[in-house]
A = this chain, B = another copy of it.
Amino acid sequence: MSLQYALLGLLTYSPMNGYKLKKIFDKSINYTWTANLSQIYRELGSLQKKGYVSSSVLEQEDRPDKKIYEITEDGTKAFNEWLMNFPESFPWPKRDEFMLRMFFGASVGKEELVKQLKKFILEKEKFNLEMQDTEKAILQMKKAIDENSSLQATDGNELYWSFITKRAHMSNEVLITWAKECIKELEENMD
């Protein structure tokens, strides 16, 4: 369901086709939610059935025709209702394969685990490099969205987007700290 609201939200900025929605998704919402193309097409179909979006075909000469989706009044209403109905609690399904492996750490062995943790740290540090310049990341979000819409639909979003990137960065940092502590403890306890 959330994916549908994410799409509706993007469509409040401007009417768009599925392919474009995916592009924007990957540069913005991607920090908080992932989706692949076929899923987006499916959900757009479902939204249209509900009457939350309408579509029209834009014929192009050079390129394949585009199917442009536009949010309807009902869709706007549904989106706003979703935003305002803050749930009492969020189902927080945890699915972290790395941590699942850690659970069976005793069967892995300390040396191997240290190696795995070092790889983990490298991954996180790589992400940190990408994340480092949060302002740039936010500008890229804005750019990706504004490129498509004539009006500057994204004005006033910077603050909230900075919250998102900040959280990603902080969470990432703490994972690096944690992993380093684990390595230290493992090395202290090695035979």
Contacts and interface: CB of A to CB of B under 8 A. Distances in A.
A57 interface: no
A97 B102 contact: no
A102 B5 CA distance: 13
Contact-size category for A: 35 or more
Interface in A52-101: 80, 83-84, 86-87, 89-90, 93-101
B164 A32 contact: no
Given A6-B100, A160-B106, A177 B170 contact: yes
A105 B175 CA distance: 26
A151 interface: no
Consensus secondary structure, chain A interface = helix
Contacts of A174: 170-171, 173-174
Contacts of A93: 34
A37 interface: no
Which of A98, A100, A105, A170 gathers most chain B CB within 10 Å? A100
